[in-house]
Structure 1
Amino acid sequence: MREWQVALLERATGHTLATWNASVREADPADEAALRDWLRERGVTGYAQMLLVHEHFGYPEFFTRTGEELIERQYADRPALRPVFDAVIARLPEVGPAVTVQTRKTYVSLLTPRRTFAVVAADTKSRVDVGLRFADLPADDRLLPAGSRWSGAMTARFPLTDVEDVDEVVGWLRQAYRDNE
């Protein structure tokens, strides 16, 4: 994720991370709020701003872990669900030509080159949810309301309790990918 944020910062501002870090050191903000205000005044917001805050004040512990370490922690107390997660990830080549996987502290985001189209999370001890972002919500009894779990970005969720359930979600992942290209 850090690499993605660095590229975003550089695309948005035309300046390298090293240049921004030097400018932040020179500005010497008193605290995080002051740094955020300073960055906002210079048009740096969102993920790019978060990157520079972390660069200056330190990264949270989960940010310094590898993707595999984060996934191991997500499934540590629900090992029976790890094969379900692994089966979803194994099927991604069938979903779209350029799926990017970003591991977060409590879930995994799946992105098209444009934006997040799905998330995978072990939301209970007995279920993995695949959150999906559709342009128009399809009618299907297995698709449930996403709720607010993923900041409202996902419009539906597909519950998985077993590896065999993964076959059913691949088509929905494909459609969500196309809707978000």
Structure 2
Amino acid sequence: MEENLKPKTGKTLEQWKTVLGQTKLTKHSEIVAWLKSEHQLTHGFANFISLKFRQADAASFDESELIASQYETKPGLKPIYDALVEYCRSLGPDVEIAPKKSTVSIRRKRQFALIKPATKTRMDIGLKFNDKKPLGRLLPSGPFGTMCTHRIELTEVSDIDDEIKKLVREAYAEAG
């Protein structure tokens, strides 16, 4: 989106930040409305510029900072995260790891897994299947809502056993 700013709006992101820096606008909705009304930007570009200006999107942060922040008060879960990411990367060269503020999305052509430190002692991994019924450790999506169809609760690295790896591998295959 940033690459398209100059050709579509006439300004780079840095130029838009300078323009916004000259206003007294601070709220996201105010900035978006102002960019749309005063500069005739589409909602998508106005939203993108506002998020970047306010450094309110995950992409405004370093990936390692996002991960560190997620596990700052839950250090016992970090080894589970590391093991899950390592396994997901082993599935193929097309695996993309995309940290957000509170989760990490694992994608191929689409998201197939979502890693979230749920509590201080439990990690949830959400999986997206086309047509699979919850069974055993494969629970309904719960707090993941429509982002995933199922979830698995993990409390230690040894929980990532052959059964869990098979489910993650199946979700990966369906995402391709």
Deviations 1:47-88 (A, max 9, x none): x65322224x42128654321222122112221111111100
Q: Which residue pairs with 1:34 in the alignment?
A: 33
State yes or no: 1:90 paired with 2:89: no
| Identity score, percent | 27
Q: Which residue pairs with 1:52 in the alignment?
A: 49
State yes or no: 1:107 paired with 2:103: yes
Alpha-carbon distance in 2 for matches of 1:18, 1:133: 39
Residue number among 118, 132, 155 corresponding to 1:137 in the alignment = 132
In the comparison of the two structures, how many residue pairs are matched?
A: 166
Native 8 Å contact 1:119 1:132 kept in 2: yes
Counterparts in 2 of 1:51 and 1:163: CA distance versus 1, 3 Å: same
Counterparts in 2 of 1:143 and 1:34: CA distance versus 1, 3 Å: same
- The aligned amino acid for 1:162 is E
Residue number among 128, 152, 163 corresponding to 2:157 in the alignment = 163
Which structure exhibits the higher relative contact order, with contacts defined as CA atoms closer than 8 Å and separated by 6 or more residues? 1
Native 8 Å contact 1:126 1:161 kept in 2: yes
Native 8 Å contact 1:6 1:17 kept in 2: no
1:158 counterpart SS class: strand
- Structure 1, unmatched stretches of 5+, are none
Aligned residues: CA RMSD = 3.3
- The aligned amino acid for 2:115 is V
- The aligned amino acid for 2:129 is F
With structure 2 as the length reference, what TM-score do the two structures score? 0.75
- Structure 2, unmatched stretches of 5+, are none
Counterparts in 2 of 1:175 and 1:36: CA distance versus 1, 3 Å: farther
Larger radius of gyration: 2
Alpha-carbon distance in 2 for matches of 1:108, 1:146: 16
Residue number among 154, 172, 176 corresponding to 1:177 in the alignment = 172
Give the drift of 1:154: 0.5
Q: Which residue pairs with 1:81 in the alignment?
A: 77
